[in-house]
A and B are shown apart, each in its own frame.
Chain A
Amino acid sequence: NAGVTQTPKFQVLKTGQSMTLQCAQDMNHEYMSWYRQDPGMGLRLIHYSVGAGITDQGEVPNGYNVSRSTTEDFPLRLLSAAPSQTSVYFCASRLGRTEAFFGQGTRLTVV
């Protein structure tokens, strides 16, 4: 039981490049979400999913896309990276409105 697994752990992108942050969970949780953590701003919700095929926007969705084709996977796509997207990204999953579990985080730098 690995919990929530994020890859990669570190990434450097050039402005305008695209990439996908991967998130997988093996706990059969229906809720999955992506947060970003910025200094002085805590964690903010980007996108979330309440089950396979269902996604919705959080507080700061601009510049990001998500999809949920399976229960296990919830990738986050940056279509055209900008320096403002430099941040630490966390994926989380939970069963209903119970305890949330977070991945190890991805530290992204956009230059």
Chain B
Amino acid sequence: GIQVEQSPPDLILQEGANSTLRCNFSDSVNNLQWFHQNPWGQLINLFYIPSGTKQNGRLSATTVATERYSLLYISSSQTTDSGVYFCAVGRPKAAGNKLTFGGGTRVLVKP
């Protein structure tokens, strides 16, 4: 099956810093989503971005499907950005529209 690798696995930031999270995937996809899992365990949708670039406030994401990677940018980080960030991909014709998740990047933003 498709492999999804996220880097770095852990990230410690000082409040106000910028950061880039990366998601590499091993095969063609027609779906890519970024999620934030907050300290209470909720999965929050950040971006649905199978290709191109999107921005939402301090967060932005870029997916280059032909090169099989996606980047999530966090600017001016805040303590509420702490948690785990997951990239999930879906393949064309995947049974059940299955999403395959990466291992996540655990982010800690210190005040």
Chain A contacts to B: CB under 8 angstroms: 31, 33, 40, 42-43, 45, 48-50, 56, 58-59, 88, 90, 92, 94, 96-102, 104-105, 107
Q: Is the CB of B43 within 8 A of A105?
A: yes
Question: Considering the chains assembled together, what is the distance between the CA atoms of A40 and B102 in angstroms?
Answer: 10
A33 near B31 with CB under 8 A, answer no
A108 to chain B, nearest CB (A): 12
Bound Cα distance A50, B98 (Å): 11
Partner of B43, one of A48, A49, A90: A90
Say whether B30 contacts A97, CB under 8 Å. yes
Size category of the B interface is 20 to 34
Contact: B96 with A48, CB < 8 Å?
yes
Majority secondary structure of chain A interface residues (helix, strand, loop or mixed): strand
By CB atoms of chain A within 10 A, which of B33, B41, B48, B97 has the most?
Answer: B97
Establish whether residues A97 and B45, one from each chain, have CB atoms under 8 Å apart when the complex forms: no
Task: Rank and list the top 5 A-B pairs by shortest CB-CB distance, nearest first.
Answer: A48-B96, A99-B48, A42-B101, A102-B43, A43-B101
A102 and B90 alpha carbons, distance in the complex (Å): 15
A–B pairs, 22, beta carbons within 8 Å: A42-B86, A42-B101, A42-B103, A42-B104, A43-B99, A43-B101, A45-B96, A45-B98, A49-B96, A58-B96, A90-B43, A94-B97, A96-B97, A97-B31, A97-B97, A99-B45, A99-B48, A101-B45, A102-B35, A102-B43, A102-B45, A107-B41
